[in-house]
């Protein structure tokens, strides 16, 4: 005779079963119909197949996690075996499919996206190497992905750029981001271009770098204005594009507030209970000389272009968060989560005292 616990489990399973309806069927031109099934969540089947180029990066891991939690099959192109291992548990069995690729190989790109109904291009480079400069990644690479996606009949392409992308910028990073947008729109006119601000999170090179190397954030006397945005908010905005219809255009995703580097350094110091940095303000010409010399090292250090970016304010444009169904959160609400690790043992549980924000 079945026990009470078995009966309760059976009743719960029956009550959570959901019958399929017409809204579970999505038809795409030239593609097989998409049929979703199961209770929404990790073990559901959304019917969508998504390719996320740049999935092993900072933003990519959070986007893959959010897509997989929706029951989406996610193709994760990778270059190094160890870089994609953490992505496998993010989805149910068979939902995370890893495929090796090279951004210069169109055949491999085509193999990665040929079954997908939406493609995300998150590929980017903060610094140049002997094999990949800014142009080869942000311009040629983006163009190649857009061209192959168009040839394969992919219905939607989401290209992630930067809030400060501009062809007239002093920064080559920002210039190539803008050039990449134009190349993408040339081959995929209906592409969705997303321009997020500088992102913060667990693995960022933003708050973590301020806690370790505050001297490089004192450039321009820490007066540079920036609009930081939570990486989880950007990932959610990108994930919200998956079940929607085509949304062509360019969408800016800046943070909700504009702050200076000086305020952020005070914020890091206040939260981590670190003494204020006594490092001097390095003149720009000396910082450029040091950054050029640092390129001789085989590991990534601050680059001349990064020094240039520390002198450029974030553009003052309205955010398009409402069009993507997300309300961005302020940096003060999450900074403790990412900076507590820099506290000493005796200060680990002390309350946070926020610095005053300049009006």
Residue 21 has pLDDT above 70, yes or no: no
Give one DSSP letter per residue of 33-92, joined into a string: PEE-BSSSSTT-B---EEEEETTTSHHHHHHHHHHHHTT-EEEEEESSGGGGGGGGGGSS
Residue 3 has pLDDT above 90, yes or no: no
CA dihedral 300, 305, 308, 314 (to 10 degrees): -90
* Furthest CA-CA distance within the chain: 83
What integer is the mean pLDDT of 256-274?
95
Beta carbons of 147 and 111 less than 8 angstroms apart: no
Give the Cα separation of 304 and 291 in Å (integer): 5
Q: What radius of gyration, in Å, describes the C-alpha atoms of the chain?
A: 22
pLDDT in tens, 29-46: 555 556 555 566 667 777
* pLDDT confidence band for 345 (50 / 70 / 90): confident
- Quick one: which of 284, 292, 279, 280 has its CA closest to 308? 284
Residue 250: exposed, middle, or buried by beta-carbon count in 10 A (0-12, 13-18, 19+)? middle
More confident residue, 145 or 46: 145
Residue 1 has pLDDT above 60, yes or no: no
CB atoms within 10 A of CB 131: 8
Tokens of 31: 């593609």
Give the Cα separation of 25 and 35 in Å (integer): 5
Residue 26 has pLDDT above 80, yes or no: no
What integer is the mean pLDDT of 258-263?
97
pLDDT at 45: 73
Residue 204 has pLDDT above 50, yes or no: yes
pLDDT at 132: 92
Residue 264 has pLDDT above 60, yes or no: yes
Tokens of 303: 């680059």
pLDDT at 94: 87
Residue 24: exposed, middle, or buried by beta-carbon count in 10 A (0-12, 13-18, 19+)? middle
What integer is the mean pLDDT of 222-246?
94
pLDDT at 352: 73
Residue 148 has pLDDT above 60, yes or no: yes
Residue 4 has pLDDT above 60, yes or no: no
Tokens 């939690």 belong to: 69
pTM (two decimals): 0.88
Residue count (the chain)? 359
pLDDT at 302: 94
Tokens 């890091």 belong to: 268
What integer is the mean pLDDT of 321-327?
96
Residue 208 has pLDDT above 50, yes or no: yes
């Amino acid at each position: 005779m079945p026990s009470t616990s078995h009966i309760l489990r059976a009743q719960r399973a029956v009550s959570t079963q959901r019958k399929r309806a017409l809204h579970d069927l999505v038809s795409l031109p030239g593609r097989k119909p998409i049929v979703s099934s199961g209770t929404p969540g990790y073990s559901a089947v959304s019917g969508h197949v998504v390719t996320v180029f740049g999935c092993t990066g900072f933003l990519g891991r959070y986007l893959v996690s959010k897509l997989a939690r929706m029951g989406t099959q996610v193709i994760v192109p990778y270059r190094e075996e160890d870089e994609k291992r953490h992505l496998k548990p993010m989805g149910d069995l068979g939902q995370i499919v890893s495929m090796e690729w090279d951004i210069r190989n169109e055949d491999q790109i085509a193999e990665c996206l040929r079954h997908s109904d939406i493609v995300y291009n998150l590929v980017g480079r903060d610094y140049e190497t002997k094999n990949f400069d800014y142009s080869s990644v942000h311009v040629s690479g983006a163009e190649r992905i857009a061209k192959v996606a168009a040839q394969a009949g992919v219905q939607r392409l989401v290209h992630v750029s930067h809030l400060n992308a501009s062809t007239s910028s002093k920064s080559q990073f920002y210039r190539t981001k803008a050039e990449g947008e134009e190349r993408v729109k040339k081959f995929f006119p209906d592409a969705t271009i997303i321009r997020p601000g500088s992102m913060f999170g667990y693995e960022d090179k933003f708050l973590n770098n301020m806690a370790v190397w505050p001297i490089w954030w004192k450039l321009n006397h820490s007066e540079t204005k920036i609009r930081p945005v939570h990486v989880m908010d950007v990932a959610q905005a990108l994930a919200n594009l998956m079940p929607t219809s085509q949304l062509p255009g360019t969408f800016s995703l800046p943070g909700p507030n504009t702050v200076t580097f000086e305020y952020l350094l005070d914020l890091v110091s206040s939260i981590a209970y670190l003494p204020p940095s006594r490092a001097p303000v390095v003149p720009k010409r000396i910082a450029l000389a040091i950054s050029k010399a640092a390129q001789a090292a085989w590991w990534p250090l601050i680059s001349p272009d990064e020094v240039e970016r520390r002198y450029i304010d974030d553009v003052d444009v309205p955010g398009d968060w409402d069009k993507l169904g997300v309300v961005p959160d302020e940096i003060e609400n999450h900074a403790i989560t990412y900076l507590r690790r820099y506290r000493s043992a005796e200060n680990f549980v002390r309350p946070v005292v926020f610095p005053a924000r300049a009006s």
